[in-house]
Chain A
Amino acid sequence: MELHELTIHELNDLLKKKEVSAVEVTNSYLKRINEVEPKVDALICETADFAIKKAEEADKMIRDGNINDLTGIPVVIKDNMCTENIRTTCASKMLEDFIPPYNATVVENLNSLGAVMVGKANLDEFAMGSSTENSAFKTTKNPWDLERVPGGSSGGSAASVAADECAFSLGSDTGGSIRQPASLCGVVGMKPTYGLVSRYGLVAFASSLDQIGPITKDVTDCAIVLNAITGHDPKDSTSVDNVRKSDYKEFLKDEIKGMKIGYAKEFFRQGLDEGVKKSIENALKTFEELGAEIREISLKYMDYALAAYYIVASAEASSNLARYDGIRYGHAAEKYEDLIDMYMVSRSEGFGKEVKRRIMLGTYALSSGYYDAYYNKALKVRTLIKQDYEKAFQDVDVIVGPTSPTVAFKIGERVEDPLAMYLADVYTVPVNIAGLPGLSLPCGLSEGLPVGLQIVGKHFDEGTILNAAYAFEKACNFTAKPSFKGGAK
């Protein structure tokens, strides 16, 4: 087996035993990136020189006996998280040349543990999209079938893990942007509870929904990365400081006897692919065989989640993205008549179609006269959805269901139909609306493509999710690997 095929914990074993060095591990990944990146296009930038320097530092840490779970482990960071002195573009022409003078807190956390960043991942511009086709620079391909999308917006992050370009990656999830691409790429992705991971340095899309999380090859790695990135950050006032920091590895037990697992009848209906449905039903059977108690629940406001989400997220985005005005950094128009014209030309040139669509939607939803009809109404729906979950969690420990209604779809297939594209997130969005934690892991194949199982838990109950996921992973034994079939002729 090649080094780049290993999980974090497997690499960690080798590094601990000093059978390999961090530099060797990094070189194996850099070589792999050279091989597959031309096919996959998962990365906006490769940071080879920086990675070798970091790997050398990691080797020194290891020599000094300071090894921890992530020392010397190669990681890819979604390019909407700020990296000091390294370009952070958000896959937008607007920020093409933006070099932040600071690290995101999560990047700082990984750095302090000795993780090695090998590149920054492609994404839908400013994390808006479900296919990574909205990047201003390149379209990432799904390693399972290069004619298909990897999902989005963390498509680059998920594809880079699936293609073994890194041992793990970080994504951000506003409406499913970690879980949906993880599902489509056959890897593990988790959106932690809102507030568990600092958002400082994450270029904001929709502040009340955004959350950073891990994308990994297995559930154990997910717990390891979660350990590294959680915790209170004084630089983010929405990061919680009253939750005891857990060691998530302690929840990795294959014993789930008596665990109450819910599924909503609303999950199984029109729009859900037959193959996906079958995999999910099998997954429920597996849980039952493991001794869990399966209960049907109802999430009756689920139907309104997508609508509420697009109002709230777009409203916040219209405000968050207003700072890209060509005055201080990033793209600025060369020709303009006056100040207002300068704003208009800079923004027209700098933003892509989807971003503009959402800015307009959000601006409209917040404008006086429409605020109550849209934004305020959306907030009320948000409350109802939260209550839906609260009620459901009185009866069950976790809720499982499909992550995405379909397997990976073809590149270009939904580009002209934004509403069809938005449906890709129909199962993940309600979780962000309620601020809950959710994890997606592979549970089978349909049409030769991976199907993702979503496990949603109570606020700050990541442990129970990991427990269920770990037990399922053992029982399901999903071992298929991407085939890199198809691709540009």
Chain B
Amino acid sequence: MNYEAVIGLEVHAELLTKTKIFCNCTTEFGGEPNTHVCPVCLGLPGTLPVLNKKVVEYAVKAGLALNCEISKFSKMDRKNYFYPDLPKAYQISQYDLPLCKNGYVEIETSDGAKKKIGLTRIHIEEDAGKLMHENVDGSLVDYNRTGVPLIEIVSEPDMSTPEEAYLYLTKLKSVLEYSEVSDCKMQEGSLRVDTNVSVRPAGSKEFGTKIELKNLNSFKAVQKALEYEIKRQIKLLENGETIVQETRRWNEQKGITESMRSKEEAHDYRYFPDPDLVPIIVSDEWKEEIRKSLPEMPEHKKERFVTQYGIPEYDASVITSSKPLADFFEKCVLEYSSAKTVSNWIMGEMMRLLKETGKEVEEVLIKPHQMASLLNLIDNGTITGSIAKTVFEEMFATGKNPEEIVEEKGLKQLSNEDELREIALKVIEDNPKSVEDYKNGKDKAIGFLVGQIMKATKGKANPQLANKILLEELSK
């Protein structure tokens, strides 16, 4: 039998506000334990929460960027449960009236098909603290994160492959980054993903038993965990076994999912409207004001790049996948007219170095005008294309001007005919076999000989000139 998977994702994203959701404590990451706290976020007796207006604004912004309806009237609810990381023993969240609902994210699968993934809701809530069990007798709690504002983005179970889940997350992250509501740093917990997955016979309308996957530290992990879990579930079904609803953890080292042995008992959060907080009213005026503050979204930017700069759609989609990358591209194009050349360099050398060094685009030291200078140096024959890669690497590492690097390291292109001829003669003398091959009609041998000239000149030889001189000498 053929099976298909049904996947839904819950994403928690930390909002980029400077202060917490219900008090004026900083949201800055890290800090000595329990230094970013006050009586309000610690839930001390008598304290009251006051909703940070910026949190609503950012959440509405995210909602608009993700094509949601914005609720004119919503409210905060209490979700009651005991745990040491939760100071009030309830989390203030939104239950039946979320701030945003019915949105979607459009993804493009590898076969070029477009698919809309529905968003059930986006609601705002406070984060909890962090328990530490290591190197101590007992457990300790750090409440620095309590009250950090989060949005929870709940998708419809619209994804059917791990790849779609991956694409959805990538797209979601880029939209959140674009709208500047979250920095989406997974390593700092700014973005956290839980996934629900079930399998069913292909074409069936009914849902299978759903498994929740936790401990997913990267989008790749989400994809891998889903791939594993789907196979596991199909195997169970094929063996005639039943799937038990449970929460499983992804074990990155072993590459498997494991049961978290969570208790069977159903949670009863006893949600009810938080009487300490007044309802949230989003007027049409306010909503429009927020809409106007939204920057251009990736799809629009991509289309604009294709028409305005004439770069291929593929290039445009790669470059606009990250806002900082797109910004860098546009600034470069302002200084250098061939957009395709710029996009080649960004997609090639720059993205390679970013991957190798693990740097963020924002950290790149190369200024757009320096990039333009580098490309001009190639155009005017000062350096060769291959030397330019070396120069680029140095620029990436140090932020120096390309001219300076070329000067310091003596990387100027060698275009002196006499000098090149001397080297060419040496190469001919040293490689009789290749010369023989060439004379016997193997044109390819010329390439090898040019390569030898390049090698001898450490890549500085003007390739056209070297070619011309070689042909002259060989035909003598």
| A positions within 8 Å CB-CB of B | 81-82, 88, 90, 95, 98, 100-102, 104, 199-204, 206-208, 234-238, 315-316, 318-319, 322-323, 325, 327-329, 339-340, 343, 363, 366-368, 371, 375
* A interface SS class: loop
Selecting from B46-54, B152-160, B405-413, the interface stretch reads B46-54
Q: Is the CB of B80 within 8 A of A237?
A: no
Q: Is the CB of B276 within 8 A of A327?
A: no
Q: Is the CB of A325 within 8 A of B50?
A: no
The 6 A-B pairs at the shortest CB distance, nearest first, are namely A322-B89, A208-B275, A207-B275, A366-B270, A201-B46, A203-B45
CB neighbours of B276 from chain A (8 A): 204, 207, 236-238
Selecting from B36-44, B320-328, B380-388, the interface stretch reads B36-44
Q: How many A-B residue pairs have CB under 8 A?
A: 97
Cα distance A339–B86 in the bound complex, in angstroms:
14
Q: Is the CB of A101 within 8 A of B45?
A: no
Shortest Cβ distance from A126 into B: residue: B45
CB distance from B22 to the nearest CB of A (A): 9
CB neighbours of A367 from chain B (8 A): 268, 270
> Could you mark each residue 166-187 of chain B with 1 if its beta carbon is under 8 Å from any beta carbon of chain A, else 0?
0000000000000000000000
Cα distance A199–B276 in the bound complex, in angstroms:
9
> Could you mark each residue 267-304 of chain B with 1 if its beta carbon is under 8 Å from any beta carbon of chain A, else 0?
01011100111100000000000000000000000000
CB distance from A309 to the nearest CB of B (A): 14
CB neighbours of A82 from chain B (8 A): 45-46
- Residues from 134 to 170 in B contacting A, C-beta threshold 8 Å: 141
CB distance from A124 to the nearest CB of B (A): 16
User: Residue B46 contacts which of A104, A234, A238, A328 (CB distance < 8 angstroms)?
Assistant: A104
Cα distance A101–B87 in the bound complex, in angstroms:
17
Shortest Cβ distance from A368 into B: residue: B268
Q: Is the CB of A200 within 8 A of B90?
A: no
Shortest Cβ distance from B143 into A: residue: A328
Cα distance A206–B272 in the bound complex, in angstroms:
13
Q: How many residues of B contact A (CB 8 A)?
A: 28
CB neighbours of B87 from chain A (8 A): 323, 328
Q: Is the CB of B278 within 8 A of A238?
A: yes
CB neighbours of A339 from chain B (8 A): 84
CB neighbours of B47 from chain A (8 A): 102, 200-201
Q: Is the CB of B141 within 8 A of A327?
A: yes
User: Residue B272 contacts which of A236, A325, A329, A366 (CB distance < 8 angstroms)?
Assistant: A366
CB neighbours of B88 from chain A (8 A): 322-323
Cα distance A328–B42 in the bound complex, in angstroms:
9
Q: Is the CB of A204 within 8 A of B90?
A: no
Q: Is the CB of A325 within 8 A of B39?
A: no
CB neighbours of B278 from chain A (8 A): 237-238
CB neighbours of B44 from chain A (8 A): 100-102, 329
CB distance from A48 to the nearest CB of B (A): 24
CB neighbours of B123 from chain A (8 A): none
CB distance from B224 to the nearest CB of A (A): 33
CB neighbours of B50 from chain A (8 A): 234-237
CB distance from A229 to the nearest CB of B (A): 15
Can you give 28 A-B contacts (C-beta < 8 A)?
A90-B45, A95-B45, A102-B39, A102-B44, A199-B48, A200-B46, A202-B46, A204-B276, A206-B275, A207-B276, A237-B49, A237-B276, A238-B278, A315-B272, A318-B80, A318-B270, A319-B90, A322-B89, A323-B45, A323-B87, A323-B88, A323-B89, A327-B141, A343-B82, A366-B271, A366-B272, A367-B268, A368-B268
CB neighbours of A81 from chain B (8 A): 46
CB distance from A25 to the nearest CB of B (A): 29
Given A204-B276, A371-B270, 15 additional A-B pairs, CB 8 A: A98-B45, A101-B39, A102-B46, A201-B47, A204-B45, A207-B276, A237-B50, A237-B276, A237-B278, A238-B48, A315-B272, A323-B43, A323-B87, A367-B268, A375-B272
CB neighbours of B89 from chain A (8 A): 319, 322-323, 325
Residue B78 is within 8 A (CB to CB) of chain A in the complex:
yes
Q: Is the CB of B80 within 8 A of A322?
A: yes
User: Residue A204 contacts which of B46, B268, B272 (CB distance < 8 angstroms)?
Assistant: B46
Q: Is the CB of A237 within 8 A of B48?
A: yes
> Could you mark each residue 428-444 of chain B with 1 if its beta carbon is under 8 Å from any beta carbon of chain A, else 0?
00000000000000000
Q: Is the CB of A319 within 8 A of B272?
A: yes
CB neighbours of A206 from chain B (8 A): 275
CB neighbours of B48 from chain A (8 A): 199-200, 235-238
| Listed residue (A201, A315, A323) with the most chain B CB atoms within 10 angstroms of its CB | A323
> Could you mark each residue 250-273 of chain B with 1 if its beta carbon is under 8 Å from any beta carbon of chain A, else 0?
000000000000000000101110
